[in-house]
Chain A
Amino acid sequence: MSALPASVVEDGTTTAVTMAGALNAALRDAMEADADVVVFGEDVGPLGGVFRVTDGLHDRFGEKRIWDSPLAEAGIVGTAVGMAMYGLRPVVEMQFDAFSYPAFEQVVSHVAKMRNRTRGVVSLPLVIRIPYAGDIGGVEHHSDSSEAYWTATPGLTVVTPSNPADAYSMLRAAIASDDPVVFMEPKSRYWSKQSLSLPVETAPMDRAVVLREGTDVTLIAYGPTVRTALAAADAGAAEGLSIEVVDLRSLSPFDDETVGASVRKTGRAAIIHEAAQFGGYGAEVAARVTERNFFHLAAPVLRIAGFDVPYPSPKLEEYFLPTPERVLNALASWEW
């Protein structure tokens, strides 16, 4: 009867849970807890989503709680707006990052602005789930990192987990939030596993966390690049470099407090993301870390990002993606 992938058990004991499984459990538990939570999108029904994040939910909750909509992203987000106005808490899925673009107008012109436009009378408690980023050998349009489009839009909350525990906890928090949340899921981490007992509650959704302590450099990462940062920290340690890794988790709002405290301790900071560097999210990070901590910094804040080119085909993606090696090379470029 369990609607969950085999990796998740329900008796509260610790077990290996994938990120996809954790998201699935979060949706199930949120739907169980609140009849106003509805889920719709492309292939989220009987198929269970192309990444199986909604696996088993259609069987469990039926067509009135979770269904396949016509194939139209503007329609999906636009109708979710209407449902949220009426008091439902829709969770909609954009099948892949690049396929959220038809919904851009609805997100930017309505989802983000409704509360402000109506002086708080209408809030939109909806969640837009977007599988994003690359490193999955995907052909064109399957590997975009679109976070900066959303973070540049006032009115949106934008978060991204990097591990299964956060995936569960943050998705529950996103669904519970009365503000609209763009929930970005790093595809390359969907099948990463963690030993967990569910339900789990991790740090608040709007806080960054220090994943590994260090004294020489603060590496700021989120979503898919947290793993890169941790690997760089391992490699750095072998060379005698003590790297602190901060997982942002929330891109908007930005946790100035946690990041600032880390940077003031280490005196150096670098931000890693897959998206192109120019005008990317790292530009905001570098600017605000510098503005707020200038006199604690021994070196300029670095951005280690995707190159300023369209995301490449599978055969070239290894050269595009920031690697631990590229991170360490960048850190070595500072005067120490």
Chain B
Amino acid sequence: MCIFSDAPSARSTVSHDGHMTLNVERADSRTLPSLKPLRLLDNAGHAVSGAETGGFALPDLETLLGLYRRMVIARRFDVQVTALTRQGRLATFPSALGQEACEIGAVSALRREDWLFPTYRDTIALLTRGVDPAELLAQFRGDWHSGFDQKAHRCASQSTPLATQALHAVGLAHAARLRRDPIVALTFLGDGSTSEGDAHEAFNFAAVWQTPTVFVVQNNQFAISVPLSKQTRARTIADKAVGYGMPGYHVDGNDVAAMYAVTSAAVDRARAGDGPTLIEGLTYRIEAHTNSDDPTRYRDKRDVEHWKRRDPIERLERYLVSEGALTEDVRAEITAAAEELAATTRDAMNTEVEHDPLELFRHVYGTPRAALAEQRDALAAELAGRPGGAE
């Protein structure tokens, strides 16, 4: 199943808007982003006008409908995987529930030939890029460290060592530029991860080299139990962009229209050779950090309720309904697609795959080593000696 193929068709409109905002952005690399998050739709689903939009235009209905569809499908998937994890089918799963606008808005701004450098949190972004669910979840089920073809999908594996992937995104983008390939690399980071040295080095390298990189920081306000106030004294994470000499946007991360429009402009800007952008999406992690975390130990339930009332999917839904764009047919099609994906995912996760213990020794080096073959043979002999063991 590839839901990436239904890419929103209104890219040209957005590119156009993007170019329109380029002049504003140039100035932005020297001025702090607005403290009030930029947004195009308010929580009631009304289109916003004036300064709050930062000069960005609301994407057209068809684009928004496409984003809505992807978010609904992604959430169904996320909920399904969390349930499967509770049932013990997966070793762990970091849910992105509530963060769909950041994940889908950002990744939908990419072209197929662009690269994505995700973290463990960004499973639904990869799903949206068209990665097969079973291959996608191999990592969290514990089958292998990464289960999909990175080159085919132009998606790096989901990075666990925080912020390390941001440097890879900068390097890949720079390499593409050296080869004059008009591609962009987008990397996700968490709010906590922006404290790591690698994040700062990535911002700086990208700005100094003017690489076509887009940094999307999902500020879900927690790093496991640690609130953002313990990570930074800056007004916003996007403020940091100024110090590195790149534009920074402080965006309502539960407004997929804004996330999509701003990321599209940043992607266009990068592709045009005008360098990197830092986008902060202000959002909230509704679920626990992972299934092994107990968030009642460090945050107030009322906070969670507050953010549930700012749900990104419901916000766009209100707008689409008010525009008469969400017909029963459309809803039925989306629900069917979401349920089909959930069923496929359940089936895949409930089917044990056979593991060849000798695979341990594969893919360690490009050039085979005799010493490793010796260890492989020893394991094979050990297994053969076990009652019912392999030969």
Contacts and interface: CB of A to CB of B under 8 A. Distances in A.
Interface in A286-311: 307-310
A47 B297 contact: yes
Given A45-B225, A45-B226, A309-B364, 17 more contacts: A42-B226, A43-B223, A71-B223, A73-B196, A74-B197, A138-B92, A139-B145, A139-B160, A140-B139, A142-B160, A307-B360, A307-B379, A308-B371, A310-B145, A315-B141, A319-B383, A325-B386
A102 interface: yes
Q: How would you classify the secondary structure of chain A's contact residues: helix, strand, loop or mixed?
A: loop
Contacts of B361: 307, 309
A215 interface: no
Contacts of A325: 382, 386
A223 interface: no
Given A70-B231, A309-B372, A313-B143, A43 B160 contact: no
Contact of B91 (A50, A139, A310, A319): A139
A46 interface: yes
Given A71-B193, A314-B91, A43 B225 contact: yes
Contacts of A98: 161
B195 A72 contact: yes
A139 B140 contact: yes
Given A71-B195, A102-B196, A310 B230 contact: no
A48 interface: yes
Give the size range of B's interface with the partner: 35 or more
7 contacts: A43-B224, A47-B297, A71-B162, A72-B197, A73-B196, A139-B91, A307-B361
Given A43-B226, A141-B161, A315-B142, A102 B231 contact: no
Contact of A47 (B139, B162, B225, B359): B225
A105 B6 CA distance: 47
Interface residues of A, number: 40
A61 interface: no
A48 B139 CA distance: 28
B91 to A, nearest CB: 5
A312 interface: yes
Contacts of B162: 71, 99
A50 to B, nearest CB: 7
A313 B197 contact: no
B230 A320 contact: no
Interface string A101-125: 1100000000000000000000000
A137 interface: yes
B209 interface: no
Interface string A139-150: 111100000000
Contacts of A74: 197
A47 B297 CA distance: 6
Given A68-B226, A69-B230, A71-B231, A312 B161 contact: no
A307 B382 CA distance: 13
Contacts of A42: 223-224, 226
A70 B195 contact: yes
Interface in A45-97: 45-48, 50, 68-75
B161 A307 contact: no
B366 to A, nearest CB: 14
